[in-house]
């Protein structure tokens, strides 16, 4: 599989880190990486990462790219990629976070890529697909949104619940680490709470998952509400779910939740009393914390799960690229 990465921020760098360090991705050919930052800066931020630690192989800056271990990765610094640069690319991973028009969404196709995979919600994509929730709807879409990290955590769980006992109603709170969209010090923003220092306070806010679920799980989205809380933690987020089931459980809540995870490839589970730091680098879309499972009566269930909002989401980007390429 031949991929290109446009935008070398948190997700772009994490995707490349996985390709460079995980043996299961040895078949992936990184045709190019494009970012407007200086190559020296890209090399430094790729080699030294505050979340995942130093890259476990050498990184050397060369004239036209980076030498990572024994592999050379071409780098460009373009506002707009051209056809000659994208020739033979199966999937362009659009990781700039700046797909704000249909024109920007289609530029990768115009430049010659077989498909464009957007690393976030986008109303300009042909389809929004979440693996484990609606990936059977991929079809022949050539511009695909991978939705958000939070939606990737929530949607497969909702789909699994709906396909087993059914959902009468549910409320979900995502407890999300701070991101670069928040200021380090109090700074005027449109959202007053989001104008406060992200590493200092817990900040009630909204999440795009509330909107994304309308398209991804439309049969139950009207019965589900979603709220968000940003917390002063560098990485790993969580969802706290209270669901009223459509039918009573025939087993304990913990047994039921474990079975859900075992039936869903992108959901994991743990019996251990973990904290968020323990989940850093987990590739699942969601890791269910079984000790946190609670039942009230036969139909009200509380589920708690962790998700590495960078590593897990980047893993799904690669999985989605494989699904797109496998269509032939």
Please give the positions annotated as active site. 149
| Cα distance between residue 266 and residue 253, in whole Å | 20
Other beta carbons within 10 angstroms of residue 241's beta carbon come to 22
| Cα distance between residue 66 and residue 74, in whole Å | 7
Among residues 150, 194, 148, the alpha carbon closest in space to that of 172 is found at 150
What are residue 256's phi and psi, to 5 degrees? -65, -45
Cα pseudo-dihedral 172, 175, 179, 185, rounded to 10 = 120
| Cα distance between residue 70 and residue 171, in whole Å | 48
Residue 124 per-residue DSSP state: T
Q: Which residues of 215-225 are buried (b: 16+ CB within 10 A; e: fewer)?
A: bbbeebbebbe
How far, in whole angstroms, is CA 179 from its chain's centroid?
A: 13
| Cα distance between residue 280 and residue 53, in whole Å | 11
Structure tokens at 34: 């494009």
């Amino acid at each position: 599989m031949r991929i290109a990465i446009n935008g070398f921020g948190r997700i772009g760098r994490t995707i490349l880190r996985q390709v460079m360090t995980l043996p299961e991705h040895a078949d992936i050919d990184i045709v190019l990486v494009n970012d407007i930052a200086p190559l020296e800066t890209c090399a430094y931020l790729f080699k030294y990462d505050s979340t995942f630690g130093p890259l476990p192989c050498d990184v050397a800056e060369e004239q036209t790219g980076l030498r990572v271990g024994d592999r050379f990765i071409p780098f460009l610094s373009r506002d707009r990629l051209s056809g000659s640069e994208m020739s033979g690319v199966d999937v362009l991973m659009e990781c700039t976070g700046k797909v704000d028009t249909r024109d920007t969404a289609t530029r990768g196709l115009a430049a010659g890529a077989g498909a464009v995979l957007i690393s976030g919600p986008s109303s300009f994509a042909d389809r929004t697909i979440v693996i484990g929730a609606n990936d059977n709807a991929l079809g022949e879409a050539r511009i695909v949104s991978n939705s958000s990290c939070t939606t990737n955590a929530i949607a497969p769980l909702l789909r699994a619940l709906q396909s087993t006992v059914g959902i009468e109603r549910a409320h979900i709170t995502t407890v999300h680490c701070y991101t670069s969209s928040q200021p380090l010090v109090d700074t005027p923003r449109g959202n007053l709470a989001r104008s406060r220092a992200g590493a200092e306070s817990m900040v009630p806010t909204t999440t795009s998952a509330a909107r994304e679920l309308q398209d991804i799980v439309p049969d139950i989205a009207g019965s589900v509400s979603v709220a968000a809380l940003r917390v002063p933690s560098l990485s790993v987020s969580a969802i706290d779910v209270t669901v009223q089931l459509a039918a009573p459980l025939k087993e304990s809540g913990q047994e039921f939740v474990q079975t859900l995870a075992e039936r869903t490839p992108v959901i994991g589970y743990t019996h251990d009393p973990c904290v968020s730091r323990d989940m850093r680098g987990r590739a699942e879309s969601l890791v269910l914390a079984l000790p946190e499972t609670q039942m009230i009566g036969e139909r009200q269930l509380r589920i708690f799960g962790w998700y590495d909002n960078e590593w897990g989401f980047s893993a799904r980007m690669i999985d989605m690229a494989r699904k797109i390429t496998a269509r032939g």
